[in-house]
A and B are shown apart, each in its own frame.
Chain A
């Protein structure tokens, strides 16, 4: 029975999507109720997997053998649970938020919106529990496809153009780079299953050093959802989507699926020994370090609220890869825990962007002066999230940055520490002005914000997520325990 839980967690939202389409616009309340119920069920299925996993039970399910060494199968491990837990929990909050946002703005095609949202969560959970590259590839591609209608939701010129970039980047890289990498992996090893410590034997590594080097690059850029520069520009372009989409998909499900898959490849396809043997660690550090600094610098220059958040996301994703690539216990801990820590902080920020937009239709940071007075919950939550993003102690972001910094020292790479410190300063530089403007600057016209009210459907979920940045900062043990199973 317990083996079926991963499958149920995947299917529950897919079934939900079918129900949502069947109910349609005839009964919006029932339709949204289905979304919420599916979300709660999914979250409980994921939670039910945690106790047996922590007890050390092995939970795996094989659906079909496609070709020798290629199976459609699922396996539950710490890394997958970490990702699934965060994504399924935040989906519930995002659903409530979406109801407020979509109804507040009277958006069109809400049925399609909620159905695609449910399907994208199915795909994300599928990625989390995939036991091999083949299964992961299925759900990875599915995630791209089902999120396209969400990105191009507005169906205007801008929306279609953003959607086009999104699909071209993600499908294109997956087809050219990732597919090639998967085929070569299959030739070299005869299997695509993930294994602790990697699947390449010492002999294979010895004979195919050059191929493995090329393949690693193919993997990193093939899983392009991780947005490592220079293939990152789909992420800012995808910000044309409605804000809840940007929030869940581009802070939690899609981009985290990207770094999750890269982490899987580093940990369970290559493994520490192979990476060291082929000598690619420095290149990964360079690419991701470059992305962190340049991404942050670009964020500094953006006045559009969501664009600034998008570039901040680009930078933060590379934290995770850098941490995993350190292959030291603390580095991996810092990197992987950043999946959750960044998720809670960044989703709060996106929710804030949407909440402000629903109430005031303002998108530009330079026009935020004084908005904190009329939207106190929203802007205060943003301030909390900012503190977490910077990495102030007691907040979630501190846990990951602290571990990352220690990890860098543990492997004797102080220059990485420099990157983290510089990036934290940059974080402060591009985020702190926003709450400052909101609370301490007076608007140009005195009556600028008269009549503006907070939408509580939006404000309460974001308050909850911002409070979670403190909760996770104070009690990170549960997540750390999951990750210890990955490294230990």
Chain B
């Protein structure tokens, strides 16, 4: 009887079929279908899992390394389920986009994309650290190849930077995992509860996790790989990087942080400060940038800063905010990068200075850009606002000064988004490239509409993501 592993098996099947057909039209169809099926299965499991329980559900287990009593196990719980849903959803969107934009070696592109999605999903669904670590590294292979082979002029360098940063710093994650095995007695996440170690050692362990995850997210000053990797990647990969890959680090922190509540209070001010500095610093970077793709890349970097800060507040609101905002950010960042691609499609440029006065030429694109920018700017009633409210509420509870720092950063976020919208769509007179931009066609409008509707839906019903998180935090909060 097949269960939750179908989420992984359909992409795998897709990869196999792509490998044997290689006809570009059929390949696209196979990729789309397999990702869509994977999404639908994730959705059905998501809607059906029991939100009152805290343990992993729908477990499906295969014997793996019997010497370490280690099984290959997949499961769903409150924390990882939304991430899996996000990943499968974004995969569908990204494949839809890739069908239209990628011309070169489409079969291998789709295969790598499916492989990437598969390994990220397997990472999220892991129930033990070794499997978690295995897929944490495994996803690097397809992502580096995607950046390097389909990217821009400097893609090799960008891919190498990305590899060195994430692979290099993951050694700390590896050490931390070994420490958990040594002090806790096994690889399962739950062994974190039975760690036999003193406080300083536990802090050291926490820093091991943090160091690895902060590079993956990334948080300033570990963000050296981000700009090149985001900028040089083909747009479908950029969307995947921004919407999903950054969330792997955040998920990792969410997964472990509740077990460190007893030592957290001594360091969390400084970690939150670092995250908020990252939040504000990268907002200024975005403010200075002229290139739309770079602005959105820094926007992503900026926003994950405050999301990460929320994880270290140690209170319910902060914790809920992290989960909610990760998903919100995934959806909206994907939407905005998608719009950047629509601008780039006919002009081959991301330079915001070369557009202007598009609002008359492309009313539909203007409307959707405006809506998504409003959502991303935290317009009340839309999804991002709820996350901001929870995150800031969590941070304010811990420290009012940090709270005001957060509010300042949030306001900066509105400024650069409004500024880029003004320059591209409203500013007069129009520059040379504006005349080449065509308005969106029906299927593009459909995708953008989907993003916006999701934003409204999650704005009115954040419980779709948050239901059940109330308990896991009270469990974590006992320290």
Give me the interface of A with B, judged by CB distance under 8 Å: 63-64, 66-67, 70, 72, 134, 137-138, 141, 145, 155, 160, 164, 167, 171-172, 175-176, 179-180, 182-184, 186-187, 211
Contacts and interface: CB of A to CB of B under 8 A. Distances in A.
Interface stretch (B10-18, B63-71, B212-220, B374-382): B374-382
A45 B396 CA distance: 41
B461 A179 contact: no
- Which of B414, B428, B459 is the most central at the interface, judged by chain A CB atoms within 10 Å of its CB? B414
A172 B412 CA distance: 9
A183 B392 contact: yes
- Sort A-B residue pairs by CB-CB distance and give the 6 closest, nearest first: A138-B381, A175-B411, A138-B380, A176-B411, A180-B407, A137-B380
B390 interface: yes
A155 B396 contact: no
Interface in B361-420: 374, 377-381, 386, 388-390, 392-393, 396-397, 400, 403-404, 407-408, 410-411, 414-415, 418
Nearest to B397: A187
A187 B460 contact: no
B411 A172 contact: yes
Given A64-B460, A72-B381, A211-B400, A179 B407 contact: yes
B393 A187 contact: yes
B460 A72 contact: yes
B234 interface: no
B85 to A, nearest CB: 20
B462 interface: yes
Nearest to B460: A64
A187 B410 CA distance: 18
Given A186-B389, A187-B396, A66 B407 contact: no
Contacts of A180: 392, 403-404, 407
Given A175-B414, A179-B410, A184 B396 contact: yes
A175 B410 contact: yes
Contacts of B422: 164
B393 A134 contact: no
A64 B408 contact: no
B462 A66 contact: yes
- Which of A134, A145, A172, A184 is the most central at the interface, judged by chain B CB atoms within 10 Å of its CB? A184
Contact of A67 (B389, B396, B428): B389
A115 B460 CA distance: 25
A167 B417 CA distance: 13
Contacts of B374: 145
A141 B380 contact: yes
11 contacts: A66-B386, A67-B386, A70-B389, A145-B379, A160-B426, A172-B411, A175-B411, A179-B388, A180-B404, A183-B403, A211-B400
Contacts of B388: 179
Interface in B428-465: 428, 459-462
B461 A64 contact: yes
A127 to B, nearest CB: 12
B418 A171 contact: yes
Given A182-B389, A187-B317, 15 more contacts: A64-B460, A64-B461, A67-B389, A138-B379, A138-B381, A141-B380, A160-B428, A172-B411, A175-B410, A176-B407, A176-B411, A179-B378, A179-B392, A183-B392, A183-B393
Nearest to A63: B460
B396 A141 contact: no
Contact of B396 (A70, A167, A172, A183): A183
B295 to A, nearest CB: 18
A68 to B, nearest CB: 9
B452 to A, nearest CB: 15
A75 to B, nearest CB: 17
- Which of B380, B388, B390 is the most central at the interface, judged by chain A CB atoms within 10 Å of its CB? B380
A155 B393 contact: no
Contacts of B414: 171-172, 175
Contacts of A155: 428
B442 to A, nearest CB: 18
A171 B408 CA distance: 13
Interface in B174-232: none
- Which of A70, A175, A187 is the most central at the interface, judged by chain B CB atoms within 10 Å of its CB? A175
A430 to B, nearest CB: 36
B362 to A, nearest CB: 15
A211 B403 CA distance: 13
Nearest to B404: A180
Contacts of B462: 66-67
A163 B388 CA distance: 27
Nearest to B415: A172
Contacts of B418: 167, 171
B389 A183 contact: yes
Contacts of A72: 381, 460
A380 B378 CA distance: 48
Interface in B263-311: none
Contacts of A171: 414, 418
- Which of B381, B397, B403, B459 is the most central at the interface, judged by chain A CB atoms within 10 Å of its CB? B381
Contact of A186 (B379, B393, B407, B461): B393
A290 to B, nearest CB: 26
Contacts of A187: 317, 393, 396-397
A184 B317 CA distance: 13
- Which of A72, A138, A164, A179 is the most central at the interface, judged by chain B CB atoms within 10 Å of its CB? A179
